[in-house]
Amino acid sequence: RMKSAAAPIRDVLKDLHTRLVANYEGRIADYIPELATASPDSFGIALCTTDGQVVEYGDYKTSFTIQSVSKPFMFGLAIGDHGLDHVLSKVGVEPTGEAFNSIVLDEVSNRPYNPMVNSGAIATADLVKGKDYPERVKRMLEMFSRYCGREVFVDNTVFMSERMTGHRNRAMAHLMRNFDMMSEKFEEALELYFQQCSILVNAHDLSVMGATLANGGLNPLTKIRAIESENVKYLLSIMMSCGMYDYAGEWAFRVGIPAKSGVAGGIVAVVPGVLGIGLYSPLLDIKGNSVRGVKACQELSQKFSLHAFESS
Ligand code: GLN
C-alpha cells in the first residue's frame, strides 16, 4: 500500500504522464459541440490521500464537465434523502453489460438496471429532495461542493446544449414515468440530471472527491462531511460493478479499484482508506472511457498494489 513521500510519487506521476501523453488513441466526444472543443493534448493526474496530501501532475487544473462521474454521488444523495430501501425500489444495482445510454429496463421490476446508466441516473435525480426546483439544484450543488472542498458551478452552455439535444434521455424519463418509476416531476428530474452532468470540475477536484469517499465520507482537506459513512460502501460497490460503462467487469478484474468515468474524459477512482485518484484526458475509447485515464489507473494499480483483492 502507498506509503512513500510526495516527491518520489510526483516522479512516478511525471513518468506516467510523459509516456501516456504521447498516446493519441481514442476520440473526443462530440455529441454536443461544447465537448468537441476539448484539447486532445490535455492530460491531468491527481492523487489525494486520506490524510490530505495532494500530489498532481500535468493538466490537473483544466476544467471539464463532470458528466457521468456525478452519478455515484447523486446515488449517495438519494440514499441519504430516502434510505436505501426506497431508492432500491426505483433503481436496481445490477450491471447491464450494455452501453450507458441503453434504454432497457428490468422486465420484472421495471426499474432501470443501476444508477450508473443514464436511465438509472435520471431516476436517481428524481429522488433528490427539495421544496421546489431551485432548492433541489441548490442541495445538489452543495453536495458536490462538500466533496470538492470548494463551491462548484454549472457550465451553462453545456447545460443548455445537453437539454436541447437530450432526446434519448428524455425518452427514457417518459418510459420510466409510464411505469411509475418516476414521479410527476420527472421533467424537473431531467433538468436536474442535465445540470449535474454540466458541473465544472478538474482532475484535482476528482481526486479530492475520491479521497472523501476513501476517507469514509469526510473530506480530508476541509474536514467537512459529504456523506454519512454508512452509505459510502453503497457508492463504492456500485462503482466497482458498474462504474466504467460496459468495461466495468474487465476494469474490476484488472484494476480492482472502484471508479467512475464520464464522457468529458474524467475518471474518479477510490482506494478505500488510502487515497482518491482524479484523472482527465478527453480522448475516449470505444466504450466511452478516457484512454489515458484507464491506462494510468492500470499502471498505478499495479505499481502500488492497489487492487482490492491483492494478496499481501
Ligand atoms: N450528459 C451525458 C448523457 O446524458 C452524460 C453521459 C456520460 O458521461 N456518459 O448522455
Helices 186-197, 133-148: inter-axial angle, 10-degree rounding = 30
Q: Establish if 1 belongs to a structural domain.
A: no
Q: Establish if 206 belongs to a structural domain.
A: yes
User: Quick one: average pLDDT of 265-289?
Assistant: 97
62 lines ligand 1 (CB under 6 A): no
How far is residue 50's CA from residue 271's CA, in Å, rounded to a whole number?
9
Q: Establish if 311 belongs to a structural domain.
A: no
Q: Let me know whether 193 and 82 are in one domain.
A: yes
Q: How many domains does the chain have?
A: 2
CA–centroid distance, residue 310 to ligand 1 (Å)? 32
pLDDT of 281: 98
What is the share, in percent, of the chain residues with pLDDT greater than 90? Answer: 91
User: Quick one: average pLDDT of 138-154?
Assistant: 98
Joined grid coordinates for residue 281: 484526458
Q: Let me know whether 39 and 90 are in one domain.
A: no
68 annotated among ligand-binding-site residues: yes
Q: Let me know whether 99 and 187 are in one domain.
A: yes
Q: Let me know whether 98 and 173 are in one domain.
A: yes
Residue 2's pLDDT band (boundaries 50, 70, 90)?
Answer: low
Identify which of 67, 70, 285 to mutate to test ligand 1's pocket (most ligand atoms within 8 A of the CB).
67
193 annotated among ligand-binding-site residues: yes
pLDDT of 140: 98
Q: Let me know whether 209 and 183 are in one domain.
A: no
pLDDT of 236: 98
Q: Let me know whether 121 and 79 are in one domain.
A: yes
Instruction: Answer with the one of 197, 224, 242 that is the final residue of a domain.
Output: 197
42 lines ligand 1 (CB under 6 A): no
Q: Let me know whether 57 and 108 are in one domain.
A: no
Looking from the CA of residue 100, the nearest atom of ligand 1 is 9
pLDDT of 78: 98
Instruction: State the burial class of residue 175 (Cβ atoms within 10 Å of its Cβ: 0-12, 13-18, 19+).
Output: middle
User: Quick one: average pLDDT of 162-171?
Assistant: 96
Q: Establish if 309 belongs to a structural domain.
A: no
Active-site residue among 60, 245, 247, 280? Answer: 245
Q: Let me know whether 185 and 258 are in one domain.
A: no
70 lines ligand 1 (CB under 6 A): no
Residue 105's pLDDT band (boundaries 50, 70, 90)?
Answer: confident
Q: What is the DSSP string of 227-254?
A: S-HHHHHHHHHHHHHHTTGGGHHHHHHH
Active-site residue among 71, 90, 260, 295? Answer: 71
Active-site residue among 57, 60, 147, 193? Answer: 193
How far is residue 198's CA from residue 84's CA, in Å, rounded to a whole number?
26
Neighbouring C-beta atoms of residue 162, cutoff 10 Å = 25
Q: Establish if 17 belongs to a structural domain.
A: yes
pTM, two decimals, is 0.96
Residue 4's pLDDT band (boundaries 50, 70, 90)?
Answer: low
Q: Is 147 a catalytic residue?
A: no
For residue range 16-70, list pLDDT tens digits in order: 999 999 999 999 999 999 999 999 999 999 999 999 999 999 999 999 999 999 9
Q: Establish if 12 belongs to a structural domain.
A: yes
For residue 124, the enclosing domain spans 70-197
Instruction: Answer with the one of 180, 197, 214 that is the final residue of a domain.
Output: 197
Instruction: Answer with the one of 197, 223, 238 that is the final residue of a domain.
Output: 197
The answer to whether residue 3 scores a pLDDT higher than 60 is: no
Q: Establish if 190 belongs to a structural domain.
A: yes
- Residue with the bigger pLDDT between 101 and 187: it is 187
Identify which of 197, 199, 244, 247 to mutate to test ligand 1's pocket (most ligand atoms within 8 A of the CB).
197
How far is residue 277's CA from residue 259's CA, in Å, rounded to a whole number?
9
Q: Let me know whether 138 and 51 are in one domain.
A: no
Q: Let me know whether 177 and 216 are in one domain.
A: no
Mean confidence (pLDDT) of the chain: 95
CATH of the domain at 166: 3.40.710.10
